[in-house]
């Protein structure tokens, strides 16, 4: 597959400096002819708890699930899970996967009409059933959509336990409808399963959201792409973060791979481009020394698709070593932006208005300076931005819950350098 990996960095370090930063842009033009290199399996998990009766949510969820099924390519395996206090397979027969065809899709759509809202919310059990179904097709591009409208009703710690056991088995995009669900809960799932999280405030928006997720999922052509990072002896990887299209810390997902190298899962790939921020601590060198601080490879199994070198060159020339790489600075700012927003929301919830104002002010400043218009607009629904350049904001007395949740879920969305949104 035609992957490229390009590193952006200022390789020059002042004498004594040990921190090496680089942004690695990984781009793939997708598989040849847009064909998948492996099979694909899709599972749609729809919350069918009693609360879904409200605001016509269950009806909207039915329509959305039907629209998603329509988007599934012929030949792709799929299943639909109805989420109640237990996980119930709605389609096809329990324990089985259907192969997408006009016939199977219309059968699935008919079965969706049987979806009734009654019972509780048990996300751990739903995900576990999905993992079991995906387990029938190892090597497939495995993707799930999870829709919910409320808090998880399982005993504390159970969801985390499930996530630990199934992480990396499939990717899962999570959507919360209404405002009675917890952003932190769905974010936990999305982070563990390398997926996205977002709010669909109005049930009427569900169909578009499902279609969008399914079209994106159908565009994936490779199942399990990984970033392999080699570092020299006595060097440590401080962090590996995806920073575009959204911030996702991958540091903790490292799997050791031979001496001085580790793999970080990137999930499935299609024709797309993502940016990664890699920070490595190396032993300091002498003036003129050149060190390979990291060799970053895009790998799939044993195949190396692309490679990029992160270098460190020590110099006494401060004109060189003090130059700040634009990409590194930009994404450092975007990561701080996400943190500032989440800290601001937390402080506001805790009643600490002073901290909230400071955090939101910093966020407004960062969003403005980096041209992240989408985040700036979301911020403006929670605070009055008096002067974005200086970060002067005032907390709004009345904030719509949906606005705050949208800001929270989308706080990790980033923009590329110089790309206005």
Q: How far is the CB of 284 from another protein (least distance, A)?
A: 12
Q: Does 18 bind another protein (CB under 8 A)?
A: no
Contact with another protein (CB under 8 A): which of 100, 315, 357, 375?
A: 315
Q: 384: Cβ–Cβ under 8 A, 6 or more apart, which residues?
A: 393, 394, 396
Q: How far is the CB of 232 from another protein (least distance, A)?
A: 3
* Binders in 234-263 for another protein, by CB under 8 A: 234-235, 260
Contact with another protein (CB under 8 A): which of 1, 48, 214, 291?
A: 291
Q: How far is the CB of 293 from another protein (least distance, A)?
A: 6
Q: How far is the CB of 200 from another protein (least distance, A)?
A: 42
Contact with another protein (CB under 8 A): which of 174, 293, 378, 383?
A: 293
Q: How far is the CB of 1 from another protein (least distance, A)?
A: 22
Q: Does 231 bind another protein (CB under 8 A)?
A: yes
**What is the spatial distance between Cα 21 and Cα 23, in angstroms, rounded to a whole number?**
7
Cis peptide before 391 (omega within 30 of 0): no
Contact with another protein (CB under 8 A): which of 73, 317, 386, 400?
A: 317
Kindly give the pairing relationship between strand 77-83 and strand 261-281. unpaired
**Nearer to another protein (CB atom), residue 92 or residue 232:** 232
**Nearer to another protein (CB atom), residue 182 or residue 260:** 260
**Nearer to another protein (CB atom), residue 18 or residue 355:** 18
Q: How far is the CB of 282 from another protein (least distance, A)?
A: 7
> Is residue 361 within 8 Å of 367, Cβ to Cβ?
no
**Nearer to another protein (CB atom), residue 8 or residue 170:** 8
Question: What are the backbone angles phi and psi of residue 27, rounded to the nearest 5°?
Answer: -125, 140
Q: How far is the CB of 420 from another protein (least distance, A)?
A: 20
* Binders in 90-129 for another protein, by CB under 8 A: none
Q: Does 271 bind another protein (CB under 8 A)?
A: no
**What is the spatial distance between Cα 27 and Cα 285, in angstroms, rounded to a whole number?**
32
Count, residues in the chain? 421
Contact with another protein (CB under 8 A): which of 19, 73, 316, 377?
A: 316
Q: Does 302 bind another protein (CB under 8 A)?
A: no
Q: Does 19 bind another protein (CB under 8 A)?
A: no
> Is residue 369 within 8 Å of 379, Cβ to Cβ?
no
Q: How far is the CB of 311 from another protein (least distance, A)?
A: 8
> Is residue 28 within 8 Å of 66, Cβ to Cβ?
no
Q: Does 313 bind another protein (CB under 8 A)?
A: yes
**Nearer to another protein (CB atom), residue 156 or residue 233:** 233
Give helix 158-166 / helix 183-192 axis angle, nearest 10°: 20
Q: How far is the CB of 310 from another protein (least distance, A)?
A: 10
Window contacting another protein (CB under 8 A); options: 189-197, 225-233, 335-343, 369-377: 225-233
Binding site for another protein (CB under 8 A): 12, 231-235, 260, 282, 285, 287-293, 295, 309, 313-317, 319-320
């Amino acid at each position: 597959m035609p992957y490229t990996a390009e590193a952006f960095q200022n390789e020059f370090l002042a004498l004594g400096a040990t921190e090496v930063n680089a942004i690695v842009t990984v781009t793939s033009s997708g598989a040849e002819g847009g064909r998948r290199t492996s099979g694909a399996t899709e599972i749609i998990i729809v919350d069918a708890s009693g609360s879904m009766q409200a605001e016509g949510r269950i009806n909207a969820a039915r329509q959305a699930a039907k629209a998603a099924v329509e988007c599934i390519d012929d030949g792709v395996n799929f299943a639909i899970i109805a989420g109640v206090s237990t996980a119930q397979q709605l389609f096809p027969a329990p324990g089985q996967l259907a192969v997408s065809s006009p016939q199977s899709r219309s059968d699935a759509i008919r079965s969706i009409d049987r979806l009734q809202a009654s019972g509780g919310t048990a996300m751990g059990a739903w995900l576990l059933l999905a993992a079991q179904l995906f387990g029938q097709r190892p090597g497939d591009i495995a993707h799930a959509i999870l829709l919910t409208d409320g808090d998880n009703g399982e005993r504390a710690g159970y969801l985390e336990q499930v996530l630990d056991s199934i992480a990396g088995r499939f990717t899962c995009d999570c959507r919360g409808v209404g405002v009675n669900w917890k952003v932190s809960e769905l974010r936990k799932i999305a982070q563990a399963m390398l997926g996205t999280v977002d709010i669909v405030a109005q049930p009427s928006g569900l169909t578009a959201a499902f279609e969008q997720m399914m079209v994106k999922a159908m565009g994936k052509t490779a199942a399990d792409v990984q970033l392999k990072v080699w570092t020299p002896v006595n060097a440590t990887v401080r962090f590996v973060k995806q920073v575009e299209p959204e911030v996702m810390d991958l540091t903790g997902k490292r799997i050791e791979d031979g001496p001085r190298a580790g793999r970080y899962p990137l999930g499935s790939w299609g024709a797309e481009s993502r940016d990664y921020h890699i920070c490595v601590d190396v032993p300091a060198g002498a003036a003129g020394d050149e060190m390979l601080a990291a060799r970053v490879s895009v790998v799939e199994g044993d195949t190396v698709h692309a490679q990029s070198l992160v270098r460190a060159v020590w110099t006494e020339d401060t004109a060189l070593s003090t130059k700040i790489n634009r990409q590194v600075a930009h994404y450092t700012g975007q990561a701080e932006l996400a943190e500032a927003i989440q800290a601001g929301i937390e402080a506001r919830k805790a009643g600490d208005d002073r901290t909230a104002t400071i955090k939101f002010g910093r966020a407004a400043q960062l969003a403005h300076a980096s041209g992240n218009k989408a985040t700036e607009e979301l911020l403006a629904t929670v605070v009055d931005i008096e002067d974005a350049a200086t970060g002067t904001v005032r907390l709004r007395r009345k904030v719509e819950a949906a606005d705050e949740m949208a800001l929270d879920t989308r706080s990790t969305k980033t923009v590329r350098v110089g790309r206005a949104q």
